[in-house]
Amino acid sequence: MTKISFVAALAIMATATACSSKTPPKTPEKIQQAITQKRGDEPVKIIKPAKVADPAMVELGKKLYFDPRLSKSGFISCNSCHNLSMGGSDNLKTSIGHKWSQGPINAPTVLNSGMNIAQFWDGRAKDLKEQAGGPIANPGEMGYTHELAVAELQSIPGYVDEFKAVFGTDKIDIDKVTKAIAAFEQTLVTQNAPFDDWLAGDDNAITKEELEGYELFKSSGCTACHNGEALGGNSFQKMGVVEPYKTTNPAEGREAVTGKDADRFNFKVPTLRNVELTYPYFHDGAAQTLGQAVDVMGKIQLGKAFSPEENAKIVAFLKTLTGEQPAFMLPILPPSSDKSPRHNPFN
């Protein structure tokens, strides 16, 4: 063997070794296995991928989601409070709205929100489409009006062309705007969490401590409310079953929607998917850490005081619910035209 061929052979061997040391990409069969639940009797279910019916509408909705021109200041977008780099939330006790106003309640994550029984903590919006229109016209959030927001979009040629391509007409209205935003939000499903792999039959996907935390999570009664694919979001429950929850936050829960006293302090159960990313916790954002949240929920919902060791195990389990976060190129927003209004965030 010549010196050159010997070096070439070594290079090939090194390349083969390096490739074999990497985790191979999932084949279609592996992907199917990853969404097939082997442990079917568990109250927690593997999260299924989003179904995209209209990719063009999703792309339009993505632009609108990131576009701050839907706010009066030209500074606040949907992503401001539901930041996709921060677990679909803003990691603040309550969000910052128009003119630096303090929001009344903690911003729930937008991730996997299409699985919710309804939107907002009190469920006042029946679906993502209805929810999307709320903040735009809320004086304390984006501070605009639907009419002004639509007129601004209509003044932007790039948006006019894109709405026509998606909806078959160049006439923009708030119904089309919210439909597109909701279509994008429906795709924000976080698959392939370590716990999903365990549910699919991979015994090595989670540690002994994490599994013990899950068993404790179940045996303590947590899965009565936190179950299904999203581990929540599918029911309304009273905050403070065993003992009252003390807070200075004025939110009334479902009572504000139904007018029924029995619904007072009934809130939509939050999803626990990606919960390690969505601090602080509860509707008032009072729990700063997962450990604190577990302690409080144990006491007021279950009448149980977890030991530090039990708390640590449950927290370890909860962290296995972090899935793959949305990954895509940030959209390039179409430029305003000479006829588009100019925003003044300081006025």
> Residues annotated in the binding site for heme c, as ranges?
78, 81-82, 98, 222, 225-226, 297
CA distance 267 to 252: 8
Nearest residue to 249 (alpha-carbon basis) of 271, 277, 272, 282: 282
Q: Give just the sign of the alpha carbon dihedral 224, 228, 230, 235.
A: negative
User: Taking the CA of residue 34 as centre, how many other CA atoms within 13 Å lie in the half-sphere pointing to its CB?
Assistant: 18
Please name every residue paired with 89 in a beta bridge, in sequence order, or none if there are none. 83
Nearest residue to 250 (alpha-carbon basis) of 294, 283, 295: 283
Amino acid at 273: R
Nearest residue to 323 (alpha-carbon basis) of 273, 278, 281: 273
Are residues 162 and 37 in contact, defined by beta-carbon separation less than 8 angstroms? Answer: no
Residue with token string 């923009």: 172
Nearest residue to 186 (alpha-carbon basis) of 12, 337, 61, 14: 61
- Residue 209 sits at the vertex; the CA angle it makes with 206 and 212, to the nearest 5 degrees, is 95
111 in helix, strand or coil?
Answer: coil
Residue with token string 């937008």: 110
CA distance 132 to 175: 10
Cα-Cα end-to-end distance for the chain:
79
Q: What are φ and ψ of residue 83, in 5° steps?
A: -75, 120
Report helix, strand and coil shares of the chain as percent, to nearest 5: 45, 5, 50
Q: What are φ and ψ of residue 264, in 5° steps?
A: -65, 130
Active-site residue list = 141
| Tokens at 310, concatenated | 């039990």
Binding site as annotated, residues: 78, 81-82, 98, 222, 225-226, 297
